[in-house]
Amino acid sequence: MPIQWFPGHMNAARRQAAEALARVDVVIEVVDARLPEASSNPMIAELCGARSRPRLKLLNKADLADPGVTEAWLACYNRQPGVKAHAVSCRIAGDAARVPDLCQQLAPHRNDGTKPLRMMVLGIPNVGKSTLTNALARRRICKVGDEPAVTRQQQSLELGRGRRLTDTPGLMWPKIEHDLDGFMLAASHAIGRNAVIDEEVAAVLGDLLLGRYRDAVMARYRVADVADGIALVERIAERRGCRLRGGRLDLEKAARILLQDYRSGALGRISLESPDSRQCMLERDQCVGDAPPARDSAADS
């Protein structure tokens, strides 16, 4: 079942972001380095383009992502006009501390001390925006939680040295166009749990992991010859003793184990998409969209 999630407060958040953008020099777009394109809100590119604002694209959680794939994404993004991409882990103070200087490079006209450098953090829920803001402020300004959409209000703060930062709530877009994006976002906990079924998300995640990181999966769960994600969840349930009353496998609990192991980095440094796999997905979805509708045999009879 395709995944969609657009809480009502995000309409207001989008309007507020569009209004604040008129008073901003640089947009800091935070994405998840493990799925940087799936976690890029297309509305952010549209807003920045309409206002001609440069974007510092931060591939956060880079310590959890496959480094070779991250390098490929950086090369891809750094070829785009108006975009400068860097891989960071906002939990590392040194990484976060570099961000204002990187923004300064994108707004050299704010280097004369007459007006502050004005930065705004944008991104979807649970990619690390609040962690970045707290690190830059050097104190707990934003609530950080394990659930997406913890931040609900826009706020501004002075960073010193003529620099001002605006933090914004996580911003989704109204319709996720590609089904796989929805599942990758759900696997990475960017979508509220009330909008997903853990077993379905874990099955898709398992398919991706078996296709790209089979050895890591086999080593973690001590299984072999697993055909697909559904079978992987079943084997995890067997190996970890996930049972319901009566002895049936508790697939929901096993699904949560797989999801948590991916989210925490217990499986190693994993990237769910690369520039090449992204292109293949887009081409596949385009072919499906261009295909003629199936004939209705009942109508033809």
pLDDT per position as a tens digit, 173-214? 888 999 999 999 999 999 988 889 999 999 999 999 999 999
Q: Is the pLDDT of residue 298 over 50?
A: no
What's the rounded Cα separation, in Å, for the pair 173 and 124?
A: 9
Note whether 27 and 128 are same-domain residues: yes
CB of 141 closer than 8 Å to CB of 38? no
Which among 116, 142, 167 is the end of a domain? Answer: 167
What's the rounded Cα separation, in Å, for the pair 16 and 29?
A: 16
Note whether 228 and 97 are same-domain residues: no
Predicted confidence at residue 234, as pLDDT, reads 97
Note whether 20 and 84 are same-domain residues: yes
What's the rounded Cα separation, in Å, for the pair 51 and 187?
A: 33
Which residues, at least 6 apart from 250, have a Cβ–Cβ distance to it below 8 Å? 237, 242, 243, 244
| Domain at 265, CATH number | 1.10.1580.10
Backbone angles phi, psi at 144, to 5 degrees: -115, 125
Give the global pTM: 0.88
- Least confidently predicted of 138-142, 156-160, 200-204: 138-142
Note whether 145 and 20 are same-domain residues: yes
Average pLDDT, the chain: 88
CB of 270 closer than 8 Å to CB of 65? yes
Predicted confidence at residue 202, as pLDDT, reads 98
| Residue closest to 168 by CA, chosen among 193, 140, 133 | 133
Looking at the chain, the whole-number percentage of residues with pLDDT higher than 90 is 64
Predicted confidence at residue 160, as pLDDT, reads 82
Long-range contacts of 96-100 (CB under 8 A, 24+ apart): 96/131, 96/132, 96/135, 96/136, 97/135, 97/136, 99/28, 99/56, 99/58, 99/132, 99/136, 100/136, 100/159, 100/161, 100/163
Which among 116, 145, 167 is the end of a domain? Answer: 167
Residue in this structure with the two tokens 């939680």, named with its chain if needed: 145
pLDDT in tens, 254-295: 999 999 999 999 999 999 999 999 999 999 988 876 655 444
Note whether 163 and 223 are same-domain residues: no
The number of distinct structural domains making up the chain is 2
Q: What is the largest CA-CA distance in the chain?
A: 78
Which among 112, 147, 167 is the end of a domain? Answer: 167
> CA torsion, points 101, 106, 111, 115, in degrees to nearest 10?
-100
Which residues, at least 6 apart from 215, have a Cβ–Cβ distance to it below 8 Å? none
**Domain range holding 202?**
179-287
Note whether 266 and 191 are same-domain residues: yes
Q: Is the pLDDT of residue 148 over 70?
A: no
Note whether 24 and 76 are same-domain residues: yes
